[in-house]
Amino acid sequence: MSSLSVYAHQEREREQRIRSKPVPKHIAIIMDGNRRWAKQHGLPSSVGHWRGADTLRNITEIGSRIGVETLTVYSFSTENWNRSPEEVKALMELFEQYLGRERSSMLKEGVRLGHIGNISELPESLQKTLFDVEKETSCGEKINLVLALNYGGRDEITRAVRSIAEKVKDGSVHPEEVSESLIAQHLDTAPFGFPELLIRTSGEMRISNFLLWQISYAELYVTRKLWPEFSKEEFFHAIEAYQERERRLGG
């Protein structure tokens, strides 16, 4: 047996071991490090973003195969508008091109596209493409891929509170009915639930305004790997670390 065959056999066995234990049904990822990866390799930042898009496709495919039901990824934050107009424009074009490129693959692989965030501030053409692909993939049954676009945890909670306040004002909700459950129902993530595992790449030790309400009891996994170099190996490390922990959920 060749060394390549041995490696493939070991990978299959490892995947089977992972599947034999509880796999987090919902994983959130802060995909950090595209620009740093490009700079390290003497390439334009746009190349780093495209490599990051390829990584996302690979991780979505692997996640689907091992039983992950929802993958929520931090794609563009409310703070990212502070980047240069040129980079923001390039990112918007990348998102639109990515959706167009991945549309057929999502349909074939059973990926159901979703989004969180205030997308009304995104370019109209991107909004249309996003809605079109979401509609086309709505029957996907293998995995939800949720893009956080123009998303910020504080903004999400603010919008949820504002929505509830309007209902209190018109009398459809009474103040004493406001509960954690009601707030959760008004968050962008209501259709997808809360993540059990949050992965952050690039070694930064912060959550950067991502899913502030939802990750109260999520397990955290931080790797120094930059997102474009985040591999199946590292993804499996994260899941195995999750499986080794005792989830007491405050109990």
pLDDT value of position 249: 66
7 within domain boundaries: no
- Asked if 184 contacts 15 with a C-beta cutoff of 8 angstroms, the reply is no
Distance CA 98, CA 71 (A): 17
54, 58, 80, 209: the catalytic one is 80
187 within domain boundaries: no
pLDDT value of position 12: 84
Query: What CATH number does residue 38 fall under?
Result: 3.40.1180.10
pLDDT (tens digit per residue) in 186-208: 999 999 999 999 999 999 999 99
Q: What is the Cα 172 distance to its own chain's centre?
A: 33
Cα 20–Cα 26–Cα 32 angle in degrees, nearest 5: 110
Please confirm, yes or no, whether 32 is among the known catalytic residues.
yes
pLDDT (tens digit per residue) in 10-50: 788 888 999 999 999 999 999 999 999 999 999 999 999 99
32, 144, 150, 188: the catalytic one is 32
pLDDT value of position 175: 95
Please confirm, yes or no, whether 170 is among the known catalytic residues.
no
pLDDT value of position 39: 96
Number of domains in the chain: 1
190 within domain boundaries: no
Distance CA 129, CA 124 (A): 9
The pair of structure tokens assigned to 116 is 């969180």
Sign of the C-alpha dihedral computed for residues 88, 119, 109 and 240 taken in this order: positive
Query: Which residues does the chain have with pLDDT short of 70?
Result: 1-4, 6-7, 248-251
pLDDT value of position 9: 73
Domain of 116?
A: 22-152+195-244
- Give the bridge partners for 144, in sequence order: 70, 112
pLDDT value of position 246: 80
165 within domain boundaries: no
pLDDT value of position 68: 98
pLDDT value of position 8: 73
